[in-house]
Amino acid sequence: MEKLELLYEGKAKKVFLTDEPAYYWVVYKDDATAFNGEKRGQILDKGVVNNQLSALFFQAMEKAGIPTHFVKIMDEREMLVKRLEMIPLEVVVRNVAAGSLAKRLGVEEGYRLPHPVIELYYKNDALGDPLVNESHVSAMGWADAEMVNTVQTLGLAVNEVLQGIMEKAGIDLIDFKLEFGVADGRVILGDEISPDTCRFWDKETQEKLDKDRFRRDLGRVEEAYLEVYRRVKEALLNV
Binding site for ligand UDP (CB under 6 A): 90, 92, 98-101, 129, 175-177, 197-199, 211
The residue number with the shortest CB distance to ligand UDP is 99
Strand partners, 162: none
93 in helix, strand or coil? strand
Q: How far apart, in whole angstroms, are the C-alpha atoms of residue 114 and residue 117?
A: 9
Q: What's the closest the beta carbon of residue 10 comes to ligand UDP, in angstroms? A: 11
Q: What's the closest the beta carbon of residue 2 comes to ligand UDP, in angstroms? A: 31
Q: What's the closest the beta carbon of residue 177 comes to ligand UDP, in angstroms? A: 3
Angle formed at CA 1 by CA 59 and CA 46, multiple of 5 degrees:
50
Q: What's the closest the beta carbon of residue 32 comes to ligand UDP, in angstroms? A: 11
Q: How far apart, in whole angstroms, are the C-alpha atoms of residue 136 and residue 139?
A: 5
Q: Which residue, 162 or 198, has its beta carbon nearer to ligand UDP?
A: 198
Q: Which residue, 57 or 176, has its beta carbon nearer to ligand UDP?
A: 176
Q: Which residue, 93 or 187, has its beta carbon nearer to ligand UDP?
A: 93
H or E, element range at 8 = strand 3-9
Q: What's the closest the beta carbon of residue 8 comes to ligand UDP, in angstroms? A: 16
Q: Which residue, 71 or 120, has its beta carbon nearer to ligand UDP?
A: 120
CA 132 to chain CA mean position, Å:
19
Reported residue count of the chain is 239
Strand partners, 159: none
Q: Which residue, 13 or 177, has its beta carbon nearer to ligand UDP?
A: 177
Closest CA to 162 of 152, 174, 151, 153: 174
Q: Which residue, 83 or 199, has its beta carbon nearer to ligand UDP?
A: 199
Q: How far apart, in whole angstroms, are the C-alpha atoms of residue 69 and residue 47?
A: 18
Q: What's the closest the beta carbon of residue 162 comes to ligand UDP, in angstroms? A: 11
CA 207 to chain CA mean position, Å:
20
